[in-house]
Chains A and B, each alone.
Chain A
């Protein structure tokens, strides 16, 4: 079996570009687990995933986990599925709680950083710390992915190296979280990552 055949249907240049890249993902819940799966299917070579939590039955409405995973650390559970898609992908999973003081310990050196937290306060400190420390490395966030429907309200807003996917208004405390909308925004973030990584390839290719 030639593992590269996974990517035969990929757009030109995507696998060859992504396989040498490293993406950091902060959080492995509704956003992070689905983003990781999409990036591995797209051909990413290296992922660094940090999450302190274990799989709970209430996660199964939107996160890439199964009944058998309940009680397992999320980073360990997702690693099984990611390597089932591509056994050559390098997954660095850390069962740790991220804080403003330790993000550099895990994510220094990534090509792109992805925010995949649940709480808005954590999204905010990650953006603040990242942009102050690593303003040259793109940060892709998710904000406003609650409820259902309202597909046309979802978008990507960019300022400098910050990309925010979602509607920036629906809130899980009021609107609830449902697979259909969470997975759209997760994939908007993954799509954003691929697009940013492919810019370099497209610039070279068009020269």
Chain B
């Protein structure tokens, strides 16, 4: 089981990547920043980086305004 943003939970599977998590969560917005536990994952690593079971994934959404 993976926890997203301390809130949502999704089933884990062997070989699950960051891209799989984003797809499952339907996060299509590209203005995001992703961490697995405390580690930052650059966007060119989303397809290559696997997410360990029981990890906490953080997907921060960036919105205009300041």
Binding site for B on A (CB under 8 A): 27, 29-32, 116-121, 123-124, 127-128, 131-132, 135, 141-146, 157, 159-162, 164, 166, 168-173, 175, 177, 182
- 8 Å CB interface, B20-66 against A: 31-33, 35, 37-40, 42-43, 58, 60-66
> A31 touching B66 by the CB < 8 A rule?
yes
Given contacts A118-B66, A123-B66, A127-B62, 20 further A-B contacts (CB under 8 A): A32-B66, A116-B66, A118-B64, A118-B65, A124-B32, A124-B33, A124-B62, A132-B40, A142-B66, A144-B63, A145-B65, A146-B64, A146-B65, A159-B38, A160-B39, A168-B63, A170-B65, A171-B63, A172-B63, A172-B64
Q: When chains A and B are docked, how far (Å) is the Cα of A142 from the Cα of B65?
A: 8
> A182 touching B58 by the CB < 8 A rule?
no
Residues of the A chain whose Cβ atoms lie less than 8 Å from the Cβ of B62: 120, 123-124, 127, 141, 143, 168
- Rounded to whole Å, the gap between the CB of A128 and the closest CB of chain B is 6
> B66 touching A29 by the CB < 8 A rule?
yes
